[in-house]
Amino acid sequence: MQTLREFTRKTKRGNILKIVREHYLRDDIGCGSDLCKYCFQNEVYQLTSKHEIASSLFKFPHYLVLDTNVVLDQIDVLEEDVLHNVIVLTTVLNEVKHKSSSIYKRFNEIIHDRTRNFYVFVNEHHKDTYADRDPGETANDRNDRAIRMATKWYDTHLDTSQSSKEFERSGRANTRVVLLTDDAGNRAKAEAEGILVASATDYVKSLEEFPLLVDKLSHKTFDNEKQALPQYPAHLSMKQVLEGLRLKKLLQGAFQASRENYLEGSVNVETYEKGILIQGRECLNRAVDGDLVAVELLPESEWSAPSEIVLEEKNVYADDVPSEERAEEEKDMLQQVQQAAAATSAERTPTGRIVGIVRRKWRQYCGILQPSLIEDTNRHIFVPADRKIPRIRIETRQAAKLQNQRIIVTIDTWPRNSRYPQGHFVRSLGPLGDMATENEVILLEHDVPHCKFSEEVLSFLPKMPWSITAEDYAKRVDLRDLFICSVDPPGCTDIDDALHCRELPNGNYEVGVHIADVSHFIRPGNALDQEAAARGTTVYLVGKRIDMVPELLSSNLCSLVGGVERFAFSCIWEVDKEANVINKRFHKSVIKSKRAMTYEEAQVLIDDATQQNEIAKSLRQLNRLAKILKKRRMDNGALVLASPEIRFQVDSETHEPLEVEAKQMRETNSMVEEFMLLANITVAEHIAAEFTECAVLRRHPKPPPTNFDPLVKAARYQGFQVDIESGLVLSHSLDKCVKEDNPYFNTMIRILTTRCMMQAVYFISGSLQKEEFFHYGLAAPIYTHFTSPIRRYSDIMVHRLLAASIGADSTYAQLLERKSNEELCHNLNYRHKMAQYAGRASVGLNTHLFFRGKEEDEEAYVLFVRKNALQVLIPKYGLEGTLYLKTDKEGKDGVERTKSEIIFTFNEEDHTQRCGNVVFHSFDPVTVRLSLDSSNVQHEKLVFRLVKPYIKGFSVEPSSDADNPPTKKTKKDVKKKN
């Protein structure tokens, strides 16, 4: 059967276009119920009488039909294994797909779970359930009518099958069909048409066997909400926002909340280098970190500056109705921010207020429940682990059970008369402080994909046992006889790269970098490739690795382990004794690494003159050539940067840190790095020449001069002039920043320089001019990533381009599509950034575990002098922390302090803090006492207390040293605790 769908569309020129489409209707689409005697049934996804749910609203067997908003709003309820026998209409499925791709994906997973009995009914192509759109009817109203029509048809259709005498004799109650909709208008129409209908909230509350399911309901309103007074200005409508943006009265950008100050944030707008500053609760106006917002710029006379003070909301009320006391407190806090921001007009920054939300970017948040001040209440405050996210109001009946648990909550709405956004409980992650739970929190908070690889993904792995065939050898260059070796960190199992060096008869050297040929195993477009592209990178936590590709590849078939034949992609140069490249070649190869070494083992081999085997000779030549390459890079303006990095020794049983130390850098680290850089640059030059529009490259933009202000000022106070005109002069300036009495001074200067840098990013060659390809940190005109395909998807893309250019593999359409590759690069940049943040968070977690229950006095240096604190760095551990100088109203600052007349005076001009005769400058040596403050169970923090120089009434009293000697944690202590 065929019907015609007609509609009109207005073209850009204003013409009216009539469009007619054929729409086929069928009478052989099954209803999917095992009660039906008439339809052809699909045995896989069947509505069955085996799962009957007890509802106090509908005390008879029933199937459910969901409308679109129920799926969009109540997906957390649907994911619980409670509701069965659900009819999913294609009208609803298409609307969900159009409105939210993430919820559509989650809903699809439920549908494909055979145990849940969710049946997709193609109502849009069934002759009895298709609804034509009436003249003047909106698309939404038509869809609501189609849903009601399908529900009514199902109820009638099943009644026919249950009216037989055979069914009556069985004594079973008739199965009915219930529509769940949260649209009051749709419910009223359904009732008028004789359809069984209920709201999602009423239906879930009627499931008396599952009382805790109510916690997962999405609440758009709470009880008594309308009685509350407005606390925020009203948002502009979307029409007003769009008009304001068109007239350039408003600006659009992503909102970034401050981690340190809950009354401050900024909006990143393209035309403003540093973004637009937002200060005060009313100006923040219910924006949540990540939201796309519309902002109105304030008059220049009202511009402010970032306050640089740490301000945390301390008082949490379960009942958040505004009070005079709270309003006064809020006013005081805002005054603190504005006083701290009071600065010269030159330091003021564009300031604005948020007037509308263009698009929310809410997600699920990890955190803990705040104990309520009111007994026997279901309303509670959830405190997110991420300080950028506001507290969230939720309703739960299991608060006692969830105390001291990490839980997940999602935001539903944020009305203007509610101090906090409103949300609902999703699930519990586990006990607070448990290592597995805390790692899960880190992964979720940094949006790291970490679920197990699906069966579909694993189906594209090579079948084991796998071996290299004669055909493989014929297609590749055989390099198994070369003395190839790999040098990696200890415990590394995903070995991406290996090296060799041998002398040629003409006196030159052949140097080879051999990279795991991951692209051989991951073919374009299949599920394995899509999963690797979505993950983007391997994520390294302390003692844990989240692989980008399944372990069979990462630690086995692709890993260039010693003594095993492996596929590689080789980049080989002929160089002279001064490391000048004479020629180069690329080819796919078969290698057999002679030895897999750690950096330390390779260094010992190089340093031991008695070792004269081929591997030792190869390493010595590689090391000598690497030093020449590095000097040449430095002479060209490459920067030697630094960051405080630490390494943990982790207990193999408890996974708790036993020892922590700063990472050591050896010559072999630099040796490997130099040849990886050379390979990356060589490949970048080649693929950019071959694919001018679609080469995957990596650039590091030159930082704007304002980024260097903290570095230039800090160096000037120490008597050094840092020139930032170019990378070359900056490099020379940094080399001169040396103090004989402070050997760590130059490292600290380089740490500061690192923080002035921009983020390096992936991009497609056709999207930028050639002069923008430049990599500032490496002083390289062009650069890419080729050397780590096991852990970076960008390298797989580069391998495919390189293979296509040398005829080692075939090309394919998407490889040369600029737009799709730009989208991939955007995801890679995001995943790379989040992986870095997750790694740092893991280091922070393990540092806290290491210092739990102990105190240590350590030598440190002042890195920054702030208005109310000193930022200090401990070289031994590579740790950085804050030594607060001013007490708050409670006389606390992480630790209890007695109130005294101790006053620290901040000098704005030379950035110093003075207390009596003691003056603190950047880079001054100090001694601090480290301990862990666990008073806030969610945000444990390392506390830094001053030991030397001694300031009476502020520093740690000398007598306390004898009472509380610094303690050490041993492996035995860790095991005793467990």
**pTM, whole model, 2 decimals?**
0.80
Is residue 230 predicted with pLDDT exceeding 90?
no
The set of residues, in sequence order, having a beta carbon less than 8 Å from that of 401 and lying 6+ positions away, is none
Mean pLDDT within 213-228 = 70
Which spans in 285-357 are helix H?
324-341
Distance CA 847, CA 850 (A): 5
Confidence band, pLDDT 50/70/90 cuts, at residue 44: low
pLDDT of residue 960: 45
Phi, psi of 634 (to 5 degrees): -60, -40
Compare 373 and 515 and report the one with higher pLDDT. 515
pLDDT of residue 899: 45
Mean pLDDT within 395-405 = 87
Is residue 370 predicted with pLDDT exceeding 90?
no
Smallest Cα–Cα separation from 845: which of 406, 339, 310, 380?
A: 406
Confidence band, pLDDT 50/70/90 cuts, at residue 318: very low
**DSSP run (H or E) holding 498:** strand 497-503
Is residue 225 predicted with pLDDT exceeding 60?
no
Distance CA 540, CA 542 (A): 7
Contact status, residue 749 vs residue 742, Cβ threshold 8 Å: no
Structure tokens at 525: 């477009």
The sheet that has 581-592: what strands, in order across it? 477-478, 581-592, 565-575, 509-516, 497-503, 485-488, 595-598
pLDDT of residue 196: 94
Distance CA 120, CA 92 (A): 10
Q: Which of 221-235, 522-536, 660-674, 714-728 has the lowest mean pLDDT?
A: 221-235
Contact status, residue 408 vs residue 382, Cβ threshold 8 Å: no
Q: What value, to the nearest 5°, has the Cα angle with vertex 268 and ends 266 and 271?
A: 125
Distance CA 762, CA 753 (A): 22
pLDDT of residue 181: 94
Is residue 508 predicted with pLDDT exceeding 90?
yes
Mean pLDDT within 47-66 = 87
Is residue 591 predicted with pLDDT exceeding 50?
yes
Chain segment 828-840, per-residue pLDDT in tens:
999 999 999 998 8
Q: Which of 198-202, 348-352, 378-382, 649-653 has the lowest mean pLDDT?
A: 649-653
Neighbours of 691 (CB within 10 A): 21
Residue-averaged pLDDT of the chain:
85
Confidence band, pLDDT 50/70/90 cuts, at residue 51: confident
